[in-house]
Amino acid sequence: MHLGLRIDVCTYEGLRAGVPNLLPLLARFGVRASFFTALGPDRSGRAVLQSLRSGFLAKMRRTQAVRTYGWRTILSGTLLPARHPTDLAGVLRAIPAAGHELAMHGYDHRRWQDRLHWMRDAELRADMTCAVRAYERVVGLRPRSCGAPGWRCSPASLRLLDEFNLAYASDTRGRRPFYPSLRGTRRRTLQLPTTLPTLDEILGLDGADGERFIALIGRSLGRDPWPVLTLHAEMEGRRFLWMTERLLAQCAAWGVQCLPLAELANAVRAAGEDRIPAAEVADRAIRGRAGRVAVPLGLEPRE
């Protein structure tokens, strides 16, 4: 069985500390992954503005946010200045140098996640252009893939993906790969949705801990044809690094081969373009996550 392994790097601290912890661990297990990295200013502190959003404070308590993320990240972009991930260019370059895929995870992660549906087309294009240029400055190549911050996308952002000629995107939560459909028109950019729950969504729900999360992943792997799991450098690369180690060991025991999403996209296409469905995309709530995420209608993620 193949598992698309995606690691989101949403904050400066996740890149500074989480990624260097994860790279040798992945190498030890012979695993390659896709690192989706935010490339603009880390304004994570502005998440406090979402405190009235349904489920936000409950999630902060469940994940013990201060212990998990640290005060420097929680105050970044508010009481403390935002830090820029491109200042850690050496860490960014170490990702592809180790055989992993480096993908864009937006530019200003917090702004996109919180204000996407108020952003005009020109603002969206500017944000993505900034991410592309930052990627090119650091890596020296044009990016071929991206994942929207917070699994948030809109008709305008989906149209933009085609303009930037990306090989695939991973902007959504769902059950299988698909092509977005906008008013009946099939778009060109393949979507590889995250199909499995994330640790921060499960942690603390009904007493769930890291061990129960691993067991849940094991039970869920065979349900969908192209499973994708998202880890976070801020959590599974730091406080829950032990859990990542056990998860990788379990994947090896289960006979599961972890792949970067770029390779998963190639496998999906090789299985037959005519087998890839088209679906409209809408915002939906999912268990354990504050706010809403983009999902393909008819291919919504399983509970």
Q: At what angle do helices 89-97 and 19-28 cross, to 10 degrees?
A: 10
Gap between the Cα atoms of 16 and 123, Å rounded? 28
State residue 18's pLDDT score: 97
Over range 267-284, report the average pLDDT.
96
State residue 147's pLDDT score: 97
Residue 191 confidence (pLDDT) above 50: yes
51 vs 246 pLDDT, higher one: 246
pTM of this prediction? 0.92
Over range 70-80, report the average pLDDT.
78
56 vs 40 pLDDT, higher one: 40
Gap between the Cα atoms of 82 and 118, Å rounded? 22
Over range 210-230, report the average pLDDT.
92
Tell me the per-residue pLDDT of 91-145, one tens digit each, with 9 for 90 and over: 999 999 999 999 999 999 999 998 999 999 999 999 999 999 999 999 999 999 9
pLDDT-based confidence at 52, cuts 50/70/90? very low
Residue 19 confidence (pLDDT) above 80: yes
The domain limits of the chain are: 2-296
State residue 58's pLDDT score: 55
For 171, phi then psi, to 5°, come to -100, -5
Q: Which of 227, 228, 218, 225 is nearest to 251 (CA)?
A: 218
Q: Which of 167, 215, 213, 156 is nearest to 189 (CA)?
A: 167
Beta-strand relationship, 293-296 and 281-284: antiparallel
Residue 49 confidence (pLDDT) above 90: no
Chain centroid to Cα 8, Å, comes to 4
Over range 177-198, report the average pLDDT.
96
Residue 1 confidence (pLDDT) above 70: yes
Catalogue the E-assigned strands of the chain.
Answer: 2-9, 34-37, 101-104, 145-146, 168-169, 179-182, 185-186, 190-191, 228-232, 257-259, 278-279, 281-284, 293-296
Selected from 2.60.40.350, 3.40.190.290, 3.20.20.370, 1.10.357.10, the CATH number assigned to the domain covering 2-296 reads: 3.20.20.370
Over range 60-79, report the average pLDDT.
69
State residue 154's pLDDT score: 95
Gap between the Cα atoms of 161 and 177, Å rounded? 16
Gap between the Cα atoms of 12 and 263, Å rounded? 27
State residue 37's pLDDT score: 97
* Mean confidence (pLDDT) of the chain: 91
State residue 78's pLDDT score: 81
Contacting residues for 16 by C-beta, under 8 A, at least 6 apart: 88, 91
Percent over 70 (pLDDT), the chain: 92
Q: Which helix (H) or strand (E) holds 71?
A: helix 71-74
Gap between the Cα atoms of 112 and 106, Å rounded? 8
